A and B are shown apart, each in its own frame.
Chain A
Amino acid sequence: MQLLPKTQPRALGLGPPAATTASLLDCTGTGLLAVACDGRITIANAAARHVLGIPADHDRLDLEAAVALSPSERARLRELVGGNLEGPLQFYTEFGMRLAITRRTAPDGSVLLSFEESAPAAPAAARTDALTGLADRHVFNERLAALCDSGSEVALLMIDLDRFKLVNDTLGHQAGDALLRLVGQRLRSTFRNADVVSRFGGDEFAIAAVAGPEATSIAERIVKVLSRPYLIEEQSAVVGASIGIAYAPVHGCDPVSLTRAADLALYQAKADGRGNVRVFNSELDRRARNRGTLAGDLRRAIPLRQLELHFQPQITLKTRELTGFEALVRWPHPELGNIPPDQFIPMAEEMGLIIPLGEWVLNEACEQAMTWPGHLTVAVNVSPKQLVDPERLPRTIAATLAKTGLPANRLEIEITETALVNEAQALAVLSKIRSTGVRISMDDFGTGYSSLSQLRRFPFDKIKIDRSFVRDLGGSAEASAVVRAIAALGQSLGMGTVAEGVETSDQEAICRDDGCSTMQGYLVSRPVPAGAVADLIDDLRIPQPT
């Protein structure tokens, strides 16, 4: 038998070797989970792994690995870790277990979560959702498990309201609650024969029924009934509904896998434009797995400095002089190669990463612009989500300009028309930014809603004509008419017009004739990495005839 060497520092309180710590932690019934600043799980003891479904080799994983939590519960857990929610909080696992999770911050900034299983759930009478009187998630999962075990064909419908947040935000929480009560009533009355109708929390509802393929038509009926107007707080309000369906036993034969499948179908229904019904298929599963890995990678991409900015020049049409660059974010993934922005930006928005990502882009763009000649501007794209907080973006911009020393008039903020859906709020934020001398451009003009009324209500400095109109120039007379009309509109409102996506000299000539002020596109240059900007500025210094 080997004795411990005398120099073993155990007695000195310096801590036992890591392997011993891990096995000690595994002995406690309390679940312990440590999450580092970059979102990675550093410690997950046996109790935590068991309850959350985390694999033992969790070295490079983040909270996405907690598969025993539904996506919405995982999102709540992330909020708890991020410090946006106050603990201790109640969580439900997909196995119907109720957990009380407490959060502490370790000296190194990582977050330690400890969790205990809460007292056994209350008797059936008390286990209904207090607001709607429907079954709660726990009861629902029990019944679903029983249905699955019975071997009969089960349809699980996951229902999520569309635009519910808007009702809550504009009419208040009381109105939101009143609406949820009516939704519960409508579900119950359209669905008298359902085995279980449940509210999972928030605006998420679930129905389990012994049913066959007619579940789709039932789901369509539910979408129809829930999308009808409601009377709440002495006014009328409208929401929509999206539904994801999974069938047992084909898509899963227990509540966990079935709920996951229905959630993925619901995710697809929402992605397809809301008000839809989608049934699970294995392609959704494959995509979700890819997305899950990619989401974890994206979370680490900012701290690991994997994101890059590329810059695309803008030149005047009259004299072909360089006026500045648009900053475009790129993600060269170490294994998967370049991930297109239209894939990772929505993901960042959904994961709540768009704020830090946007702030990184802004800072990086301003720092780079400081290395350029003093007359060149830099344009930075802003996500609608960055306009939700009325204070944050104006504050960040002011701080970034102060920190980097970039004069306000060299920075342009680009927003798309869709950012203005919550118009009053967005315009207030933009006005605040514009009052400091920063310029505001409307991006992708002509592709969104009510473009013209937006222009009248806000003094944009520039309108960027969507590339789809420019692409058709030369081919269709209509495209030229649209470009000319926008250019004329810009002139009369005192706004510059930028033609985007100019690829040929013909298109350039037409844009010039149609009265646009600036252009951007492959004809001048593709977006180039920061390191290549200086050379490009030199190349463009002497206006080249085309």
Chain B
Amino acid sequence: MQEPVFRLTYCSHSALDCAADPTELDRILATSRRNNAAAGVTGALIYNRGIFAQTLEGSFDAVQTVFERIQSDLRHDEIVVLQAEPVEERLFGAWAMAQAEPDHPARVHETLTSAMIDPGVTAAPPLLELLTRVVRHAPA
């Protein structure tokens, strides 16, 4: 499949307390998988202590549409974009939205908070590396 791929990686604080209600996260994932599958978007998501990080991959228009839907969701707060650019290929082509379970919660927390604090170009690679590392075990 050689269609142009656009990748967006962003972090956000969330008003959701997923620790208190794990079904909330499941609902978000279910909605996102349904919407993404329809739009040909794939990606991965990680949630840890109030911070979401998500990668979306697909055609620019599809990623923009999905992102706009997320942007009008007021449960997100302080959204920072870490990477928004055309890329060679998808990293998460097999997943409509993979859920990455934090393997080392403390390290994951550090990666996420530092990305929120300093969302420069250097913030995206460690986060993508984290997502790919933990997603390998996730069901497609």
CB distance from A285 to the nearest CB of B (A): 33
Count of chain A residues with Cβ under 8 Å from any Cβ of B? 16
Known: A186-B72, A190-B72, A234-B6. A228 touches B79 (CB 8 A): yes
Closest B residue by C-beta to A235 = B84
Are B81 and A229 closer than 8 Å at their CB atoms?
yes
Q: Which of A224, A228, A232, A234 has the most CB of B within 10 A?
A: A228
Closest B residue by C-beta to A229 = B81
- Cross-chain contact of A224 among B10, B74, B81 (Cβ < 8 A): B74
Please give, as numbers and ranges, the residues of chain A lying within 8 Å of B71 by CB-CB distance: 186, 225, 228-230
* A:230-278 near B, CB below 8 Å: 230-232, 234-236
The CA-CA distance from A186 to B69 in the complex, in Å, is: 9
B85 within 8 A of A: yes
Are B84 and A231 closer than 8 Å at their CB atoms?
yes
Are B84 and A236 closer than 8 Å at their CB atoms?
yes
Please give, as numbers and ranges, the residues of chain A lying within 8 Å of B76 by CB-CB distance: 228
Please give, as numbers and ranges, the residues of chain B lying within 8 Å of A182 by CB-CB distance: 68
B122 within 8 A of A: no
The CA-CA distance from A235 to B63 in the complex, in Å, is: 11
Q: Binary interface profile of A, 496-511, with partner B (CB < 8 Å = 1, else 0)? A: 0000000000000000
Are A234 and B60 closer than 8 Å at their CB atoms?
yes
The CA-CA distance from A185 to B64 in the complex, in Å, is: 12
The CA-CA distance from A221 to B72 in the complex, in Å, is: 10
Interface size class on chain B is 10 to 19
CB distance from A175 to the nearest CB of B (A): 13
The CA-CA distance from A447 to B74 in the complex, in Å, is: 36
Are B60 and A229 closer than 8 Å at their CB atoms?
no
Are B84 and A234 closer than 8 Å at their CB atoms?
yes
- Cross-chain contact of A236 among B72, B74, B81, B86 (Cβ < 8 A): B81
- Cross-chain contact of A231 among B64, B74, B80 (Cβ < 8 A): B64
- Cross-chain contact of A225 among B6, B60, B74, B86 (Cβ < 8 A): B74
The CA-CA distance from A185 to B68 in the complex, in Å, is: 9
Are B85 and A234 closer than 8 Å at their CB atoms?
yes
CB distance from B86 to the nearest CB of A (A): 6
Are B79 and A229 closer than 8 Å at their CB atoms?
yes
CB distance from B116 to the nearest CB of A (A): 13
Are B60 and A186 closer than 8 Å at their CB atoms?
no
Are B68 and A186 closer than 8 Å at their CB atoms?
yes
Please give, as numbers and ranges, the residues of chain A lying within 8 Å of B10 by CB-CB distance: 229
Are A235 and B72 closer than 8 Å at their CB atoms?
no
Please give, as numbers and ranges, the residues of chain A lying within 8 Å of B6 by CB-CB distance: 234
The CA-CA distance from A359 to B64 in the complex, in Å, is: 47
Closest B residue by C-beta to A185 = B68
A150 within 8 A of B: no
CB distance from B51 to the nearest CB of A (A): 16
Closest A residue by C-beta to B10 = A229
The CA-CA distance from A235 to B8 in the complex, in Å, is: 9
The 19 sampled A-B contact pairs (Cβ below 8 Å) are A182-B68, A185-B68, A186-B68, A190-B72, A190-B74, A225-B72, A228-B71, A228-B76, A229-B10, A229-B71, A229-B79, A229-B80, A231-B63, A231-B64, A231-B67, A231-B68, A234-B60, A234-B84, A234-B85
- Closest A-B pairs by Cβ, 8 of them: A236-B84, A236-B81, A231-B64, A229-B81, A189-B72, A228-B71, A228-B79, A235-B84
Residues on B lying within 8 angstroms of A by beta carbon are 6, 8, 10, 60, 63-64, 67-68, 71-72, 74, 76, 79-81, 84-86
Residues on A lying within 8 angstroms of B by beta carbon are 182, 185-186, 189-190, 221, 224-225, 228-232, 234-236
